[in-house]
Chain A
């Protein structure tokens, strides 16, 4: 199993290992606190992007609603982090697990609808989760189910794991978790589910004909993707720590996510890193170094819109040239 993960073409172990070493040991000394903070967000976002890219690129399922498990994972992990002493890595797994269960529930109706309809339904469901999270709010140290503090003295930051209190230590922790999550995805892709997904992606009827349980594998894909996004949500909570709102999980974030994921590319999991780079590094870089920063901040959505449009047109041209569209 492990051998298969490392030999899978999506993984490219040398590059991955090199990148890990660079991130863990070189980056903290190269970049200042601002950028380490941004790179932490990039590592978190890459997991969400990977979940969308995997569903679309490998299974052919388009979810516009992956912000929902991301938000659910964040809510559950944050709430439990305040309420219990469970070690953070286990909390992440629980947050991811709850997100996965809800992902499966979302997956059930979604399985019965096709392509575009699936995208629209997942978008509606994400809006539903947004409305609920908006009202539930994220725990900030208070009592009760919500964990909302009513007095200033009760308010507290989302606790980070004891071994990763500082920004740099937390960055390393996030990079390691992200690596584990990516390897999990590769493990699935490299084994039986991955092959099943490939044949579902190619043609659902022929997959069915060759005895593949399409429903089961589609559900598995939804569950895995939701787990990945849920774990990312848990990491987001302890990354930001204070004043967490729904902005990462709302409808604008949902459309933004699909835009950067397509810009990053859905052919391989590496595209997720590129997508996260666009979303969390490129924009701060532009705002800080090119022309007036407030302009870029406002204008950012336009740039991503143009990026998405160019990407769609380019892929169409490329497919057309290969004769895939006739």
Chain B
């Protein structure tokens, strides 16, 4: 018996050792460490004391500037929280939880700065576990069981296709970060990002511009959304007179060395290889390619997820300038205020997290939702109809993270408010650098054509991109 107890004790010690030295793994329910002093607030102008009738208008104007969180009062919010829920995918191989967790970090900062007219705002996320039945049940739970006023900030491979019709039926306008095509083809969903299909198209534009020999291979993980995710890049590649092949591998990728060899041998010397993966999966392939000496055999490209500081660090000097990553958001070291705010909120409210695109998506979604709520009559904040009307009405929302101002749209064939972006390359040390400035994603399919027409009609966004050409990039 004694021996058994010793053995059990040993197991606990082992697990405890693992836990103690692990500063990873921040689960959703663990609150981000409370800030002793919110840096964002200190930079804010003196809080408006005269907030009366046009309080909402002032609040909107202040929050648009992107210098500080929410109202920037430095006063902690109290009272009944306003809860925003979402459905997010977090499974091995496909884990997007850093998006909503960053939104939560932004909300925490807002809550230290006056909240939504004094009330705190919170985020809850439901894991769809990569299964459609869980995704459907989660949406029903958030809306009908928990009766939340808004759905937003989710980042899922399943939420849009499974729940778009349900959200519409329930009258919810959803701001999220999207993966499947349905996030961009549903009138009541608007994403802060442009999703893998458009992003890989952007990467294809960058790679094709560099003159691949005669074939470009696109690759992603096998999933219900996979065909569509790479099809737009494929259309563009073929229109450019090149051969296109799409290869899909089971996720998580089991044998990255074989995959890297396979991709390069399919593309042929001087061809192009476009990756459409999350950072853990994409990195496996790139590290294997490095080991196999394949970096210079083809022109490499990737959709937006690899635009992440941890990826730049992991890639190291061998990959400096060697992979064209489509960045749906501005560079992470862009000095403009909204991005500075993101870095501060990240450092203060979620220090374990590296800087990265997924986090930017959640951050921008959080800012849009807070912006919409601050523009409302405080008396209506518990009314889902009013809240969703306010979210659906967002237009011309300025953010330095995006090339052009964001809008919800509500367009009948779908919304793609983020449709200009950057091409970035790793600097070989610890960050990505801009190669192109903002450029326009090619409108080669009906949805984006319709979106551009609606934008041209005016009122939704600006005509010219809000370009940042800092000293770091080579310019485009």
Contact = CB atoms under 8 A, between A and B. Distances in A.
Interface of A: 32-35, 37-38, 41, 131, 134-135, 137-138, 140, 148-153, 155, 157, 236, 239-245, 247-248, 284, 288, 291-295, 297-298
Contact of A32 (B144, B162, B231): B144
Interface stretch (B130-138, B390-398, B404-412): B130-138
A131 B222 CA distance: 11
CB-CB nearest 10 A-B residue pairs: A292-B29, A294-B28, A34-B140, A34-B141, A240-B132, A152-B185, A242-B161, A247-B131, A242-B162, A33-B140
7 contacts: A37-B133, A41-B137, A150-B228, A153-B185, A153-B446, A243-B158, A245-B131
Contacts of A247: 129-131
Contact of A38 (B125, B137, B158, B227): B137
A83 B185 CA distance: 24
A157 B182 CA distance: 12
B181 interface: yes
B29 A155 contact: no
Q: Chain A at the B interface: mostly helix, strand, loop or mixed?
A: helix
A245 B145 contact: no
A152 B447 contact: yes
B224 interface: yes
Contacts of B222: 134-135, 137
A298 B144 CA distance: 24
B29 A294 contact: yes
Contacts of B27: 292, 294-295, 298
B44 interface: no
Contacts of A295: 27, 29
A241 B136 CA distance: 10
A148 B223 CA distance: 12
Nearest to A130: B250
Contacts of B225: 243
A183 B132 CA distance: 29
Interface string B11-48: 00000000000000001111000000000000000000
B359 interface: no
Nearest to B135: A243
A150 B132 contact: no
Contacts of B228: 149-152
Contacts of B137: 34, 37-38, 41, 284
B317 to A, nearest CB: 36
Given A34-B145, A152-B182, A284-B137, A242 B227 contact: no
Interface string B117-131: 000000011110111
A297 B231 CA distance: 34
Contacts of B133: 37, 41, 236, 239-240, 248
B129 A244 contact: no
Interface residues of B, number: 42
Interface in B201-227: 222-225, 227
B180 interface: yes
Contacts of A242: 132, 136, 158, 161-162
A131 B248 CA distance: 13
Contacts of A148: 227
Nearest to B159: A243
B279 to A, nearest CB: 20
Contacts of A241: 132, 162
B129 A297 contact: yes
A289 to B, nearest CB: 11
A248 B446 CA distance: 34
Contacts of A293: 28-29, 124, 126
Contacts of A38: 137
A202 to B, nearest CB: 36
Contacts of B180: 243
B365 to A, nearest CB: 19
Contacts of A32: 140, 144-145
B132 A33 contact: no
B125 A294 contact: yes
A56 to B, nearest CB: 25
Given A32-B144, A150-B231, A294-B28, A37 B136 contact: yes
A288 B142 CA distance: 11
Contact of A34 (B30, B144, B447): B144
A150 B227 contact: yes
Nearest to B248: A135
Interface string B421-462: 000000000000000000000000111000000000000000
A298 B140 CA distance: 20
A38 B133 CA distance: 8
A157 B447 CA distance: 20
Contacts of A134: 222, 250
A242 B136 CA distance: 9
A173 to B, nearest CB: 16
A99 to B, nearest CB: 19
A41 to B, nearest CB: 5
B22 to A, nearest CB: 14
A153 B446 CA distance: 10
B396 to A, nearest CB: 26
A149 B228 CA distance: 8
Q: Most chain-A CB neighbours within 10 Å: which of B30, B124, B145, B182?
A: B145
Contacts of A245: 130-132, 223-224
A199 B36 CA distance: 73
Contact of A155 (B130, B131, B181, B250): B181
Contact of A292 (B28, B157, B181, B182): B28
B123 to A, nearest CB: 12
Contacts of A34: 137, 140-141, 144-145
A178 B137 CA distance: 20
Q: Most chain-B CB neighbours within 10 Å: which of A34, A131, A153?
A: A34
Interface string B53-70: 000000000000000000
Contacts of A288: 141, 145
Contacts of A155: 161, 181-182
